[in-house]
Structure formats: C-alpha cells, structure tokens
Amino acid sequence: MKQLRLKVLAGLFVVAGILSWGGARLWEAFGTLPSVPLAAPIVLAVIAVVLMATALSLRARLRAQRERRPGAKGVEPLMAARAVVFGQASALVVALVSGMYGGVGVFLLGSLDIPPRRDQAIYAGFAVAAGIAVIAAALFLERVCRLPEDDDEVPARG
C-alpha cells in the first residue's frame, strides 16, 4: 500500500478550489449560487473525530501488544489495513471537497457585506478547517499503522 503524499492532497485541493471558484462565478452569472450547507463542517469534523479515535485506539493496542502486556488485545493486520484504506480514501475525498468549499469561500469573500453571503463564507471556511483536520487525522492513522523498518536485512548487491 502506497503512503499518502501531502503534495497530491494539496494538488487536489488547489485544482478543486480553482474549478469551484470558476464554477461559482459562472453559476452566479446565470442565477443564484447554491448555498454551503451548515452540515458540511459538522460532517467533516465527525469524520475527523472517527479517524482520530481509530488511530488512538490502534496506537494503544499496538503499544500494549509490543510491550507484551498481559491481556493485551492484539490488532489483526486486516483490520489495520482497512483502517488505513478508510483514512486514505477519506483524505483524498476530503481534499477535493475542501477545495470545492475553499473555492466557493474565496468567491464569497467579494460579498461579505451581505449577511447571508457572509454566513456562507463562514460555513465554507469551517468546512475547509474541518477538512484539514480530516487529512491530519488520516495521516496520523497511516503513521500509526505503518510497519517498522527492518534494520536487520542486508541490502541486495547488484
């Protein structure tokens, strides 16, 4: 399984942001821009909390397993792999979604004097912040589940 790259996530964020900013300008020219839902930052924050709780739980269980504590509940490799895949998928999707809300938020910065637009810009900003929290939790989960490097192996000569 390949490790997530921050450059890829940042690239997805920027591309989605630029496209959604352009889409918001186009949409505004033809009609009313759809609103940013209040639930967007809440849902993203819940995903971040679930990922962080999973990472902390797995980290505690792996530590207890390494220290050979009596009664320590082990971690099945397939469960850890599923958790990492969930974290990686969440990070990739959230990079796109956060970029989308970021682009709309940047577009809305031009009309902060209108109270509904200001509220939408705030929701978009919170959605981006919650998206960053999801990405941070996913990277932490990936780090927790990483296998230790084998220092005993002799490199192949070639």
* CA–CA dist 123, 103 (Å, integer): 12
Whole-structure pTM over 0.95, yes or no? no
At 153, the pLDDT band (50, 70, 90 cuts) reads low
Give the DSSP letter string of 13-50: HHHHHHHHHHHHHHHHHHSPPPPPPTHHHHHHHHHHHH
* CA–CA dist 133, 151 (Å, integer): 33
Tokens matching residue 26 = 């186009």
Task: Examine the pLDDT at 157 and tell me if it is beyond 60.
Answer: no
User: Helices (DSSP H) in 67-158: which residue ranges?
Assistant: 77-108, 115-144
Instruction: Summarize pLDDT for 56-95 with one digit per residue, the tens.
Output: 999 988 888 777 777 777 778 888 889 999 999 999 999 9
Question: Tell me, what's the pLDDT at 150?
Answer: 43
Choose the weakest-confidence range: 17-26, 53-62, 142-151: 142-151
